[in-house]
């Protein structure tokens, strides 16, 4: 079966309605899968090779990006693929079996929901959502249309995770006490223009914005730095967090905890006088009902004037995942880690593959039609993404930071006090005046996990509004998927 390539359409006369339900072609056991790639930036470009390789039994059948400069090179290399800047038009093609979405975060859920409604299976990058509510809508859509939908938390396909679980289950480290999560990657400011960014000629503005509000863009560049604006991104917690939280939810909490019971957070966007509004320094406490989880996310260096990332001082580690047990701890990141006794002596080393088989795992499930074959079935990545949105909401509800109040939020709990003290020490090393630079401390928010909403005194209209977004018409995630 051949697919004819359509030219990149310059007009933005996009149909305003959702794609019509399209039936999927009937696949034979040996048929290649036709894949379309939605979002062709850094990650999406990599996906074309990862998913679209011949040994996977796949064909690069469709390409979609409203940025012509992003699409052009891929269209040249894959002349038989449909190149279409409007995802709705791409999805009309009945020959496409599955889509791989690596657009900006604000498009993930809507693109994925439209895709399943059009009869396609979906791989969608983390965070799978812009907000908690729409993530659940995607899970509902995957059930209703009986589609295979997988999240881009690829560590779930790393055999490392099962090895760590087995080791913890052996009792070698004793009972689990708490989990400490860290992300200490240094980043820089994103600029601040005097006048709004002129929209680049090569990008279709309406399609790029999709569900996001049409607000003036004051940063230096359009692409990638959308991460640092709530309108389109979810900050560093929403960027790296879904991986790290997902490791914790799987390896330590064994997927027993859908959502935390309570969350509190603080931090700020310090040192950079730029157009971003997400924190570059963020600390979070998750009360899970199993063991507490504390998390530090720092984009500033270990001290002012260096470009070296911060460190978790007590254990002198940058490990993403630290599982503290009675007789020692596990500390590791992508691709491996070690178990230590409480004197920091290595007891066992672990090596992983970083989740390289995750694309193959998705394709296997697309062929078998069995959700249980998936390592990161969409509900798993929805929940890990939602934890990050909750940590962001806990920060966004914050008021002026106060050190004593911060400690009192989880009074007398050592790992929390260590987290708060670590935040203050890190800010001091970067010569941040917490008062002058607008540091925030949020209230303790309570979560009704079954309803995926807030409960108790924290269930204010302001808090609840942050569980969902205002969609720019016609790019609206519907209540009924
Ligand atoms: N799993 C991982 O390890 C991993 C690694 C890197 C990035 N990611 C995720 O991948 C996503 C993309 O990240 P990136 O670094 O490539 O960002 P990027 O800014 O380089 O690329 C995003 C692309 O999406 C395009 N886009 C915007 N609206 C679109 C639409 N309606 N249809 C199709 N494309 C659209 C943009 O034009 C841009 O080319 C992010 O959500 C990020 O979190 C995941």
36: left (phi over 0), alpha (psi -120 to 50) or beta: beta
Distance 39 CA to ligand 1 centre (A): 5
Distance 95 CA to ligand 1 centre (A): 24
The pLDDT assigned to 156 comes to: 97
**Whether the CB of 114 sits within 6 Å of ligand 1:** no
**Whether the CB of 235 sits within 6 Å of ligand 1:** no
174: which residues sit within 8 A by CB, 6+ positions away? Answer: 325, 326, 327, 328
Do the bridges between strand 281-287 and strand 262-268 make them parallel or antiparallel, or are there none, so unpaired? antiparallel
Q: In this predicted model, what pLDDT tens digit does every residue of 382-412 receive, in sequence order?
A: 999 999 999 999 999 999 999 999 999 999 9
The pLDDT assigned to 54 comes to: 81
C-alpha span between 151 and 380 (Å, rounded): 8
Which among 12, 43, 46 is the best mutation to test ligand 1's pocket, defined by most ligand atoms within 8 Å of the CB?
43
C-alpha span between 122 and 23 (Å, rounded): 15
Q: Which atom of ligand 1 is nearest to the CA of 239?
A: 43
The pLDDT assigned to 25 comes to: 66
Distance 437 CA to ligand 1 centre (A): 31
C-alpha span between 49 and 46 (Å, rounded): 6
154: which residues sit within 8 A by CB, 6+ positions away? Answer: 354, 355, 356, 358, 376
- Closest-CA residue, ligand 1 atom 2, reads 152
First to last CA, the chain: 32
R_g over Cα of the chain: 22
- Closest-CA residue, ligand 1 atom 1, reads 152
**Whether the CB of 103 sits within 6 Å of ligand 1:** yes
Nearest to 35 by CA among 18, 54, 11, 17: 54
**If residue 423 lies in a helix (H) or strand (E), which one and from where to where?**
helix 414-429
The pLDDT assigned to 33 comes to: 97
Name the phi and psi angles at 415, rounded to 5: -60, -30
C-alpha span between 449 and 258 (Å, rounded): 7
Cβ–Cβ under 8 Å, residues 362 and 172 = no
Give the position of tokens 């074959």.
373
Nearest to 182 by CA among 302, 263, 269, 291: 302
- Closest-CA residue, ligand 1 atom 28, reads 208
C-alpha span between 281 and 423 (Å, rounded): 8
Give, to the nearest 10 degrees, the angle between helix 132-144 and helix 378-396.
160
Q: In this predicted model, what pLDDT tens digit does every residue of 2-20 receive, in sequence order?
A: 333 333 333 333 333 344 4
Q: In this predicted model, what pLDDT tens digit does every residue of 80-128 receive, in sequence order?
A: 999 999 999 999 999 999 999 999 999 999 999 999 999 999 999 999 9
**Whether the CB of 38 sits within 6 Å of ligand 1:** yes
Name the DSSP letter for residue 32: P
The pLDDT assigned to 270 comes to: 98
Question: Which ranges of the chain have pLDDT less than 70?
Answer: 1-30
Domains (range + CATH), the chain? 33-154 (3.40.50.720), 157-356+377-465 (3.30.360.10)
């Amino acid at each position: 079966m051949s697919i004819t390539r359509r030219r990149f359409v310059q007009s933005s006369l996009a149909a305003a309605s959702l794609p019509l339900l399209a039936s999927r072609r009937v696949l034979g056991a040996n048929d290649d899968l036709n894949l379309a790639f939605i979002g062709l930036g850094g990650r999406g470009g990599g996906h074309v090779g990862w998913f679209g390789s011949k040994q996977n039994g796949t064909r690069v059948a469709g390409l979609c990006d409203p940025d012509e400069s992003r699409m052009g090179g891929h269209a040249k290399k894959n002349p038989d693929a449909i190149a279409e800047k409007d995802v709705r038009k791409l999805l009309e093609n009945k020959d496409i079996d599955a889509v791989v979405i690596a657009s900006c975060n604000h498009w993930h859920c809507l693109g994925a929901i439209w895709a399943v409604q059009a009869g396609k299976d979906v791989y969608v990058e983390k965070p799978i959502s812009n907000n908690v509510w729409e993530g659940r809508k995607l899970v509902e859509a995957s059930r209703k249309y009986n589609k295979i939908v997988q999240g881009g938390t690829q560590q779930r396909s790393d055999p490392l995770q099962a090895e760590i679980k087995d080791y913890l289950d052996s009792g070698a480290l004793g009972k689990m006490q708490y989990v400490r999560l860290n992300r200490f990657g240094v980043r820089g400011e994103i600029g601040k223009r005097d006048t709004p960014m002129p929209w680049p000629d090569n990008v279709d503005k309406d399609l790029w914005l999709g569900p996001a509000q049409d607000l003036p863009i004051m940063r230096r560049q359009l692409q990638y730095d959308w991460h640092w604006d709530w309108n389109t991104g979810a900050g560093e917690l929403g960027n790296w967090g879904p991986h790290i939280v997902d490791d914790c939810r799987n390896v330590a909490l064994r997927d027993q905890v859908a959502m935390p019971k309570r969350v509190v957070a603080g931090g700020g966007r310090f040192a950079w006088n730029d157009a971003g509004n997400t924190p570059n320094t963020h600390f979070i406490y998750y009360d899970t009902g199993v063991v507490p989880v504390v998390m530090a996310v720092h984009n500033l260096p270990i001290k002012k004037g260096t470009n070296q990332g911060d460190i978790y001082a007590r254990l002198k580690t940058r490990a993403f995942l630290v599982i503290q047990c009675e007789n020692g701890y596990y500390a590791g990141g992508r691709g491996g880690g070690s178990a230590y006794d409480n004197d920091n002596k290595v007891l066992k080393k672990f090596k992983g593959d970083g989740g390289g088989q995750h694309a193959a795992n998705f394709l296997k499930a697309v062929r078998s039609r069995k959700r249980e074959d998936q390592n990161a079935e969409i509900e798993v990545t929805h929940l890990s993404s939602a934890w990050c949105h909750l940590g962001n909401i806990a920060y966004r509800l914050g008021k002026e930071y106060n050190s004593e109040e911060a400690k009192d939020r989880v009074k007398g709990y050592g790992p929390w006090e260590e987290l708060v003290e670590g935040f203050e020490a890190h800010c001091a090393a970067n010569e941040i005046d917490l008062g002058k630079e607008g540091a925030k401390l949020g209230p303790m928010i309570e979560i009704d996990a079954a309803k995926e909403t807030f409960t108790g005194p924290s269930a204010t209209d302001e808090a609840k509004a942050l569980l969902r977004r205002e969609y720019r018409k016609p790019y609206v995630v519907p209540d009924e998927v």
